[in-house]
Amino acid sequence: MAEPLPLLVDRLATPIGELLIIADGHGRLRSIDWTDHEPRMRLLLDRYYGRGRYTMDAASDPGGLTKAMRAYFRGDIGVIASLAVETTGSPFQSSVWRALREIPAGRTISYAELAQRIGKPTAIRAAGLANGQNPISIVVPCHRVIGSNGTLTGYGGGLPRKKWLLEHEGVPVRC
Q: Can you list the domains of the chain with their CATH numbers?
A: 5-82 (3.30.160), 91-168 (1.10.10.10)
pLDDT in tens, 21-76: 999 999 999 999 999 999 989 998 998 889 999 999 999 999 999 999 999 999 99
Q: How much of the chain is in helix, strand and coil states, percent to nearest 5? A: 40, 20, 35
pLDDT-based confidence at 1, cuts 50/70/90?
A: low
Question: What pLDDT sits at residue 153?
Answer: 85
**Residue 175 annotated among the catalytic residues of the structure:** no
Q: What percent of the chain has pLDDT over 90?
A: 80
Set 69, 96, 123, 142: catalytic member: 142
pLDDT, position 138: 96
pTM assigned to the model: 0.92
Mean pLDDT calculated for residue range 132-157: 89
Task: State the pLDDT at residue 28.
Answer: 96
DSSP-assigned letters across all residues of 31-98: EEEEGGGHHHHHHHHHHHH-TTSEEEEE-SSGGGHHHHHHHHHTT-GGGGGG--B-----HHHHHHHH
**Helical pair 91-101 and 124-132, crossing angle rounded to 10 deg:** 80
pLDDT tens profile 104-118: 999 999 999 999 999
